[in-house]
Amino acid sequence: MEIFAVDSHIWAIDHELLGLPGVGVTYVVTGEEIALIETGTALTVPQTLAGLDALGIDRAAVRHILCTHIHMDHAGGSGHLAAALPNAFVYINSSVAEHLVNPTKLMASVRRAVGEEAWPLHGELLPIPAERIRPAEQLYLDLGRDVVLTAIATPGHSPDHLSYLDHKSGGLFIGDAAGLAMDRWGLAFPVTPVPTYDLEAHRATIARLRALDLPRIYLTHYGPHDDVTYQLDRAAERLEELVELVNRALADGDPDIAALAARWVPYPEDGPAGVVARSWTQMSVAGLIRYELKRRQATG
């Protein structure tokens, strides 16, 4: 478990998502009160708690657990964290809050989306009592010492996706709103997953993020980036590459998801991050195909 400083009031704990370093972080934002942003999965919670211990943070001092969206690597650890952090509320878009109270349906859907190879790496959700969940879409959270977090709607990757603006640094905790950039593994692409990906919303979100003229973005996958324009441009470019690949394959007939994913993001089979690359790119190809077929059906 690695910890690194992001700003004078922000730490990042690498919680070893999917068993690897450099894939996922939980951010620790410190004012008088402590907020965590992103939970990882159930399987990453021990590393996150060890990180808090290493930072000397009392578990009772963590008051807020913010999730950008309902996917397993962003909210999957929320129940386990809530159990270990007795004074914390969990914040998520209220449109999906019921899934944290009663996670059975969500877990079945994730299992279908990520496939059997990657499913065991996602962990299981622990239900959270409804009274410990708060709606995040209108969030204004004053942690004290001039540290304020507010929410911005950034749908597309998922309809419930929120990003959290840290007013002190001007940086945005962006979740999966644009694209991922895992420098250690040489992976950078937007994730467009089944079953609820929305291309038009995603394009609009990237445009909106550009217009915000942010000094920094804090990626969940992975870490802080100051080259915001480059990151947003690259995510947009790689997205349009995928759109073209998928549309051409649909025009040719029955699309081969694995082959398309490998063409979009070529990645060695045997590398340690191969399972991440394969699972997330195949999920993206499938998500975009599903979106496109739904769209065509709707427009006749």
Contact string (CB under 5 A) for Zn ion, positions 134-173, x = contact: ----------------------------------------
Name which of 14 and 176 has its Cβ closer to Zn ion: 176
Output the smallest distance, CB 218 to Zn ion, in A: 15
Does 292 interact with Zn ion (rule: CB under 5 A)? no
Name which of 33 and 160 has its Cβ closer to Zn ion: 160
Name which of 113 and 128 has its Cβ closer to Zn ion: 113
Output the smallest distance, CB 21 to Zn ion, in A: 20
Terminal C-alpha separation, the chain: 51
Output the smallest distance, CB 275 to Zn ion, in A: 17
Does 202 interact with Zn ion (rule: CB under 5 A)? no
Output the residue with the shortest Cβ distance to Zn ion.
71
Contact string (CB under 5 A) for Zn ion, positions 172-191, x = contact: ----x---------------
Output the smallest distance, CB 248 to Zn ion, in A: 26
Output the smallest distance, CB 197 to Zn ion, in A: 10
The token duo for 101 is 């109270």
Number of residues that bind Zn ion (CB under 5 A): 2
Output the smallest distance, CB 194 to Zn ion, in A: 11
Does 71 interact with Zn ion (rule: CB under 5 A)? yes
Name which of 65 and 147 has its Cβ closer to Zn ion: 65
Residues that bind Zn ion (CB under 5 A): 71, 176
